[in-house]
Amino acid sequence: MLQQLWTESTKPKSLDSLDYHSEISEILRKLAKNSDFPHLLFYGPNGAGKKTRVLAFLKEVYGSGVYTVTEEEKEYKINETSNTTTSCTVLSSKFHIDVAPSDADHHDKVIIQKLIKEVASSHQVNSKQTKDFKVVIINEVDNLTKEAQASLRRTMEKYIERCRIILICESLAKIINPIRSRCLLIRVPAPDQTQVAQILDKISAQYNCKISQQLINKIAIASNGNLREAILYLQSTRVNNTCIKDDQNIAAQEWKLHIQHNIVMPIVKNQLVETMKEIREKFYQLLVNCIPVDRIMFEMLQGVLNQYKDHANKIILYELIKSTAKCENRARQGSKGIVHLEALAAEYMTIIKQFA
């Protein structure tokens, strides 16, 4: 029998059981007590706990029934004159639905229009225990096309009496202003290393995992504030051992090693045209495996900063960070990730040649 992922089995299911950001929990608790609440937009880095807080909030509103969900593949016609369809996976309870329309690529607009209309037409019947509207959770809103976002804005206004929208994204940079202005914005920052370490301590005790504080701290540092990643590190490091040694290596994700060995090191060692040709293929390998451009850029930055953190000329660190921020912003506005990754690699080479 397959062991359940600890990220799922240890996930808090109420606002009271959340381990950090108590001020956000208090805001959500107050919203849940009202007879009405606005559309919400949760934003913050991966693994910070946005979705966990959304579901805990809905439990506060509707009760534990929000965790009784069914999965369904829904199909919608692109238009009335064509038989072409698009589909998406929908998780639903009696009180809410959970969907990521961006999975349908350029057909995301169709899913938003038809799915929300469908939900609004079968809205929750009012009672003493429940609100008289259903909730639609839309994930990865920052990956929606501009057309889909414009459609979402109109839909939010049209059906506000019958449903509430909870949006989840990493960054507000790609969300159009009309959507932002119609939502209560809730920022969920990444937990710090101390908070991550405390949660790992609790999980290791829960699973009788004998692990030293030294190794827990190593995992907390390696996760860079991504709690989901830290818990997966803990579980994968343990494997089948009941006792973990202090010098045991933390199981690193293969794609991160790929970036450090096959992209960062060539950039640091050889600032040549031939190097650009070599790493272009490495970028494509990451993209076809669905590694997001911003995550690739983040790991590239971590790698080059580690190489030059003790360099006498600290200007090089500033220039590396500045060029990464510029390229990441352009990547968010554009569509061809490979172009922006190559641009960042070229900028790194120029900076290293000039300052190193």
Q: What is the CA radius of gyration of the chain?
A: 23
Do residues 225 and 155 both lie within one domain? Answer: no
Residues 337 and 297 in one domain: yes
State how far the Cα of 267 lies from the Cα of 178, in Å rounded to an integer.
Answer: 41
CA distance 60 to 78: 37
CA 185, CA 187: separation in Å to the nearest integer? Answer: 6
Does the residue 245 lie in any domain? no
- Per-residue burial over 97-122, b if 16 or more Cβ lie within 10 Å, else e, is bbbbbbbbeebbbbbbbebbeebbee
Torsion sign (Cα): 87, 69, 165, 41: negative
If DSSP codes are grouped into helix, strand and coil, which group holds residue 209? coil
Taking each helix axis from N to C end, the angle separating 293-308 and 337-355, rounded to the nearest 10 degrees, works out to 10
Do 163 and 82 belong to one domain? Answer: yes
234 and 317 in a single domain? The answer is no
Summarised one tens digit per residue, pLDDT across range 145-203 is: 888 899 889 888 887 778 889 999 998 988 999 999 999 999 999 999 999 999 999 99
Provide CB contacts within 8 A for 310, sequence distance 6+: none
CATH of the domain at 347: 1.20.272.10
- Shared domain check, 178 and 207: no
pLDDT at position 188: 95
- What tens digit of pLDDT does each residue of 171-182 get? 898 899 999 999
Contact of 267 with 231, CB cutoff 8 Å: no
Segment (H or E) for 66? none
Range of the domain at 10: 6-187
Same domain flag for 221 and 135: no
Distances (CA, A) of 185 to 20, 21, 64, 171: 19, 15, 25, 11
- Tens of pLDDT along the chain (356 residues) come to 346 788 888 899 999 999 899 999 999 999 988 878 889 999 999 889 999 999 999 999 889 998 988 888 887 777 777 777 887 888 889 889 898 887 776 788 888 888 888 887 775 544 444 566 889 999 989 888 888 899 889 888 887 778 889 999 998 988 999 999 999 999 999 999 999 999 999 998 888 887 888 888 888 888 888 898 888 888 877 664 545 555 555 655 678 888 999 999 999 998 888 899 899 999 998 888 878 888 899 999 999 998 988 887 888 999 999 999 999 888 877 778 899 999 999 999 999 988 87
Number of domains in the chain: 3
Pair 160, 211 in one domain: no
